[in-house]
Structure 1
Amino acid sequence: MEKRTNEKRVILFPLPLQGCINPMLQLATILFSRGFSITIIHTRFNAPKSSDHPLFTFLQMADGLSETQTQSPDLLLKLTLLNENCEKPLRECLAKLLKPDSDSETEQEKISCLIDDSGWTFTQSVAESFNLPRFVLCAYKFTFFLGHLLVPQLRRHGFLPFPDSEAEDLVPEFPPLRKKDLSRIMGTSSQMEMLDSYLVKILESTKPASGIIVMSCQELDQDSLAESHKVFNFPIFPIGPSHIHDVPASSSSLFEPDQSCIPWLDNQETKSVIYVSLGSIVTMSESEFLEIAFGLRNTDLAFLWVVRPGSVQGRDWIESLPVGFMESLDGKGKIVKWAPQLDVLAHRATGGFLTHNGWNSTLESICEGVPMISLPFVWDQMLNARFISEVWRIGIHLEGRIERREIERAVRRVMVDSEGEEIQARIKVLQDEVRRSVKRGGSSSRSLDDLVNRILSF
Structure 2
Amino acid sequence: MVPTPPPPTAALRRNIPHAIMISLPYQGHINPFVSLALKLASRGIAVTFVHLDHIHRRLSESHGAAAAADHDIFAEARQLSPELNIRYTTISDGLPLEYDRDQNGHTYFKYLVEDFPEIVDKFVGKFIADDVADSDSRFIHFLVADTVCSWPAAIAEKYNLVNVSFWTEPALVFSLCYHSDIMRQKGHVPNDNTTEVEINYLPGIKKISSRDIITILNDREGILVDCLTIAFNNVRKADFILLNTVEELEPETLTALSKYQLNYAIGPINFSKGLPTAAVSKSIWSESDLCNHWLDSKSLGSVLYVSFGSVVQIPQHELDEIAYGLLLSGVDFLWVVRAGTASGDGDVLPEGYEEKIRDSDRGLMVPWCNQIRVLESPAVGGFLTHCGWNSTVESMWCGVPMICRPVANDQPTNRKLVVDDWGVGVNLYDGGGSSPSVDRERIADKIRRFMNSDKVRDAASRVKETVRNAMAIEGSSERNFERRCASKDPERKEKYGLS
Give the alignment's TM-score, normalised by structure 1: 0.90
* Percent of matched pairs sharing the same residue: 27
User: Comparing 114-123 with 151-160, which one deviates more in the overlay?
Assistant: 151-160
Give the SS at the match of 1:45: helix
The residue aligned with 1:153 is: 182
Give the SS at the match of 1:228: helix
State the shift of 1:359 in Å: 0.8
User: Comparing 8-17 with 132-141, which one deviates more in the overlay?
Assistant: 8-17
Give the SS at the match of 2:24: coil
Take 1:456 and 1:426, find their aligned partners in 2: how far apart are those partners?
42
Give the SS at the match of 1:262: helix
Q: 1:154 to 1:358 in 2, by over 3 A?
A: same
Take 1:130 and 1:452, find their aligned partners in 2: how far apart are those partners?
21
Q: Deviations over 1:368-391 (max 9, x none)?
A: 100000000011110110111111
The residue aligned with 2:481 is: 448
The residue aligned with 2:102 is: 71
Supply the AA of the counterpart residue of 1:242: I
State the shift of 1:83 in Å: 1.8
The residue aligned with 2:315 is: 285
> Contact 1:290/1:321 (CA < 8 Å) preserved in 2?
no
Take 1:255 and 1:316, find their aligned partners in 2: how far apart are those partners?
20
Supply the AA of the counterpart residue of 1:52: I
Supply the AA of the counterpart residue of 1:245: S
> Contact 2:214/2:411 (CA < 8 Å) preserved in 1?
no
Of residues 177, 180, 189 in structure 1, which corresponds to 2:211? Answer: 180
Take 2:131 and 2:243, find their aligned partners in 1: how far apart are those partners?
34
Q: 1:338 to 1:109 in 2, by over 3 A?
A: farther
Take 1:183 and 1:388, find their aligned partners in 2: how far apart are those partners?
15
Does residue 110 (structure 1) correspond to residue 142 (structure 2)? The answer is no
Does residue 14 (structure 1) correspond to residue 41 (structure 2)? The answer is no
Once superposed, what is the RMSD of the aligned Cα atoms?
2.5
Of residues 43, 50, 75 in structure 2, which corresponds to 1:34? Answer: 43
State the shift of 1:100 in Å: 3.7
Q: 1:427 to 1:323 in 2, by over 3 A?
A: closer
State the shift of 1:229 in Å: 3.1
Q: Deviations over 1:106-158 (max 9, x none)?
A: 94361430100011111211121111111000011011111123223322333
State the shift of 1:65 in Å: 3.5
Supply the AA of the counterpart residue of 1:92: K
Take 1:109 and 1:432, find their aligned partners in 2: how far apart are those partners?
43
Q: 1:427 to 1:60 in 2, by over 3 A?
A: same
State the shift of 1:353 in Å: 0.3
Supply the AA of the counterpart residue of 1:80: K
Q: Deviations over 1:280-329 (max 9, x none)?
A: 11112221221111011111111000111122233475463326643465
Give the SS at the match of 1:274: strand
Of residues 345, 353, 360 in structure 1, which corresponds to 2:375? Answer: 345
> Contact 1:112/1:456 (CA < 8 Å) preserved in 2?
no
Q: 1:127 to 1:397 in 2, by over 3 A?
A: same
Take 1:197 and 1:348, find their aligned partners in 2: how far apart are those partners?
44
Q: 1:73 to 1:389 in 2, by over 3 A?
A: farther
> Contact 2:94/2:119 (CA < 8 Å) preserved in 1?
no
The residue aligned with 2:443 is: 407
> Contact 1:5/1:35 (CA < 8 Å) preserved in 2?
no
Take 2:406 and 2:11, find their aligned partners in 1: how far apart are those partners?
42
State the shift of 1:207 in Å: 1.0
The residue aligned with 1:436 is: 469
Give the SS at the match of 1:457: coil
Supply the AA of the counterpart residue of 1:376: P
State the shift of 1:29 in Å: 1.1
Take 2:468 and 2:194, find their aligned partners in 1: how far apart are those partners?
37
Supply the AA of the counterpart residue of 1:96: K
Q: Deviations over 1:370-421 (max 9, x none)?
A: 00000000111101101111111111012223432232122112212xxx11
Take 2:251 and 2:18, find their aligned partners in 1: how far apart are those partners?
31
The residue aligned with 1:200 is: 229
> Contact 2:308/2:341 (CA < 8 Å) preserved in 1?
no
Matches within 5 A, 1:140-289: 140-162=169-191, 165-173=193-201, 176-182=207-213, 184-189=215-220, 191=221, 193-230=222-259, 232-233=260-261, 235-246=262-273, 247-250=275-278, 251-289=281-319
Give the gaps of 5 or more residues in structure 1.
Answer: none
Q: Deviations over 1:26-69 (max 9, x none)?
A: 10111121122221122223235554321442222221335455
The residue aligned with 2:457 is: 424
Take 1:258 and 1:316, find their aligned partners in 2: how far apart are those partners?
23
State the shift of 1:274 in Å: 0.2
User: Comparing 311-320 with 140-149, which one deviates more in the overlay?
Assistant: 311-320
User: Comparing 171-180 with 56-65, which one deviates more in the overlay?
Assistant: 171-180
Give the aligned length: 446
Supply the AA of the counterpart residue of 2:73: D
Supply the AA of the counterpart residue of 2:385: T
Supply the AA of the counterpart residue of 1:300: G
> Contact 2:304/2:334 (CA < 8 Å) preserved in 1?
yes
Does residue 53 (structure 1) correspond to residue 81 (structure 2)? The answer is no
User: Comparing 364-373 with 58-67, which one deviates more in the overlay?
Assistant: 58-67
Of residues 321, 327, 337 in structure 2, which corresponds to 1:307? Answer: 337
Give the gaps of 5 or more residues in structure 2.
Answer: 1-9, 61-70, 79-85, 488-495
User: Comparing 215-224 with 148-157, which one deviates more in the overlay?
Assistant: 148-157
State the shift of 1:339 in Å: 1.0
Supply the AA of the counterpart residue of 2:464: Q
The residue aligned with 1:457 is: 498
Take 2:214 and 2:235, find their aligned partners in 1: how far apart are those partners?
25
> Contact 1:217/1:434 (CA < 8 Å) preserved in 2?
yes
Give the SS at the match of 1:79: helix
Take 1:8 and 1:185, find their aligned partners in 2: how far apart are those partners?
35
User: Comparing 240-249 with 263-272, which one deviates more in the overlay?
Assistant: 240-249
> Contact 1:115/1:134 (CA < 8 Å) preserved in 2?
yes
User: Comparing 270-279 with 407-416, which one deviates more in the overlay?
Assistant: 407-416
Give the SS at the match of 1:283: coil
Of residues 414, 421, 445 in structure 2, which corresponds to 1:384? Answer: 414
